[in-house]
């Protein structure tokens, strides 16, 4: 692999979100059965050996939680509403939620039917803007599904997930880089990823009760007592987590974008902007003797919804003409342009490699 060229945008400032639907299965049952609303609803296996999948917040007041044997739940809450899961229905809503997240995020990693990480880094490093984008995403989920979710936003996955757990249900927590220590330090060590009952006990026996204790503990002690995970736990205690979203697209990319002070709706103007941005990205490619096989456009609407569309080439190119043609094609055919206009336009290049691979494009393969 060649050294990373200077024109490549490195995503050092990342904004990762974690979305968790609140008491998802139970909430869907309450949505579809208005008579269940306000009642303790317990979703899970109803047979003699069944366990609880999800308990509504009303049921949690009776001490019922997921993985509890159903027989125990029934003893604790004899008047609860007990229902079998309807996975097809949950999947349907889950897919709708994912489609909403995709409007805003460049990458999404689905963890389960009710949980996903997503990447908002492309909205730029400004926390105010990120806050606004994520608020809008959360509002859309609530408006379109009539269900609530909790959202955590942070510079990495670990902190994003922690954020969504800190304020539930219907929560919204943003952990900016400057707040990390203040938020993490007082938490019990069990809040750290990978600290289960056994590790928590071990840490307690070493006198490490809070995240701050773990952060300040001598590394050699942690490694001696816990093995290699000791190092990882201390990194997490410092708020460091470099794991990336699985399913994330290539990190090596060149892009240029413009935010407009008024919303642009005139096609000629959009076209000339594409030409200008293309000249810049193609110039960066050529200056570094590189070619790309992916051309991407990014459009942000006045309501901050942001979409990206991309086209793939069979072979690499650095031709401004080819890039511009693909970008304009994407804008013409793959983007909804309304009278409202757009607030931001970007042109990006991906799948970048050395120019030795350069050839004329054969057939664009539309993604």
Instruction: List active site positions.
Output: 115
Least separation in angstroms between residue 35's CB and Mg ion is 23
Footprint on residues 113-152 left by Mg ion (CB under 5 A): 114
Q: Any bridge partners for residue 317, and if so which?
A: 292
Q: Between residues 161 and 215, which has the closer beta carbon with respect to Mg ion? A: 161
The answer to whether the peptide bond before residue 169 is cis (omega within 30 degrees of 0) is: yes
Q: With CA atoms as reference, report the closest residue to 117 among 154, 66, 71.
A: 154
Q: At what angle do helices 87-104 and 127-145 cross, to 10 degrees?
A: 150
Q: Using CB positions, name the residue nearest to Mg ion.
A: 114
Query: How many chain residues touch Mg ion (CB under 5 A)?
Result: 4
* Cβ atoms of residues 347 and 325 within 8 Å: no
Q: With CA atoms as reference, report the closest residue to 337 among 261, 268, 254.
A: 268
Least separation in angstroms between residue 164's CB and Mg ion is 9
Q: Between residues 55 and 295, which has the closer beta carbon with respect to Mg ion? A: 55
Footprint on residues 87-116 left by Mg ion (CB under 5 A): 114
Least separation in angstroms between residue 147's CB and Mg ion is 10
Phi, psi of 12 (to 5 degrees): -75, -40
Position among 16, 20, 141, 277 found at the interface with Mg ion (CB under 5 A): 20
Q: With CA atoms as reference, report the closest residue to 120 among 157, 164, 148.
A: 157
Least separation in angstroms between residue 114's CB and Mg ion is 4
Q: Between residues 173 and 310, which has the closer beta carbon with respect to Mg ion? A: 173
Phi, psi of 343 (to 5 degrees): -100, -30
Strands 342-350 and 52-55: unpaired
Least separation in angstroms between residue 27's CB and Mg ion is 9
* Cβ atoms of residues 296 and 309 within 8 Å: yes
Footprint on residues 255-294 left by Mg ion (CB under 5 A): none
Q: Between residues 93 and 322, which has the closer beta carbon with respect to Mg ion? A: 93
Least separation in angstroms between residue 94's CB and Mg ion is 11
Query: How far apart are alpha carbons 214 and 181 in whole angstroms?
Result: 12
Beta strand segments in 45-167, E: 52-55, 81-83, 107-112, 115-119, 149-154
Q: Between residues 14 and 157, which has the closer beta carbon with respect to Mg ion? A: 157
What is each CA distance from 245 to 15, 95, 300, in whole angstroms? 11, 18, 23
Q: Which helix (H) or strand (E) holds 96?
A: helix 87-104
Handedness of CA 45, 48, 49, 54 (dihedral sign): positive
Q: Between residues 161 and 256, which has the closer beta carbon with respect to Mg ion? A: 161
Least separation in angstroms between residue 110's CB and Mg ion is 13
When asked if residue 29 is in the footprint of Mg ion (CB under 5 A), the reply is no
Query: How far apart are alpha carbons 365 and 353 in whole angstroms?
Result: 18
Q: Between residues 56 and 284, which has the closer beta carbon with respect to Mg ion? A: 56
Binding site for Mg ion (CB under 5 A): 20-21, 24, 114
């Amino acid at each position: 692999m060649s050294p990373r060229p200077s024109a490549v945008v490195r995503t050092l400032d990342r904004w990762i979100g974690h979305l968790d639907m609140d008491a998802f299965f139970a909430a869907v049952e309450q949505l579809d059965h208005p008579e269940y609303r306000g009642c303790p609803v317990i979703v899970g296996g109803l047979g003699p050996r069944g366990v609880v999948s999800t308990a509504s917040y009303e049921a949690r007041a009776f001490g019922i939680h997921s993985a509890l044997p159903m027989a125990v739940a029934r003893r604790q809450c004899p008047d609860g509403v007990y229902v079998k899961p309807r996975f097809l229905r949950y999947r349907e809503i889950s897919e709708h939620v994912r489609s909403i997240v995709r409007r805003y995020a460049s990458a999404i990693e689905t963890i389960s039917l009710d949980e996903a990480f997503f990447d908002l880094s492309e909205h730029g490093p400004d926390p105010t803007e990120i806050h606004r984008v994520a608020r809008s995403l959360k509002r859309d989920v609530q408006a379109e599904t009539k269900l609530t979710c909790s959202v955590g936003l942070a510079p990495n996955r670990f902190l994003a997930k922690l954020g969504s757990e800190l304020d539930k249900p219907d929560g919204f927590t943003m952990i900016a880089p400057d707040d990390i220590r203040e938020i993490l330090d007082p938490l019990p060590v069990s809040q750290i990823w990978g600290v289960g009952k056994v590790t928590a006990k071990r840490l307690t026996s070493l006198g490490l009760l809070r995240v701050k204790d773990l952060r300040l503990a001598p590394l050699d002690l942690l490694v001696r007592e816990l093995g290699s995970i000791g190092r990882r736990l201390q990194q997490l205690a410092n708020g460091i987590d470099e794991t990336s979203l699985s399913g994330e697209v290539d990190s090596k990319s060149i892009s240029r974008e413009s935010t407009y002070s008024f919303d642009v709706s005139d096609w000629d103007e959009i076209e000339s902007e594409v030409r200008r941005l293309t000249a810049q990205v193609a110039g960066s490619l050529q200056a570094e003797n590189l070619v790309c096989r992916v051309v991407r456009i990014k459009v942000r609407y006045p309501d901050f919804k942001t979409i990206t569309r991309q086209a793939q080439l069979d072979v690499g190119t650095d031709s401004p003409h080819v890039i511009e043609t693909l970008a304009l094609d994407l804008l013409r055919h793959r983007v909804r342009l309304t009278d409202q206009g757009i607030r931001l336009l970007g042109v990006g290049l991906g799948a970048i490699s050395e120019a030795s691979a350069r050839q004329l494009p054969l057939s664009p393969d539309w993604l």
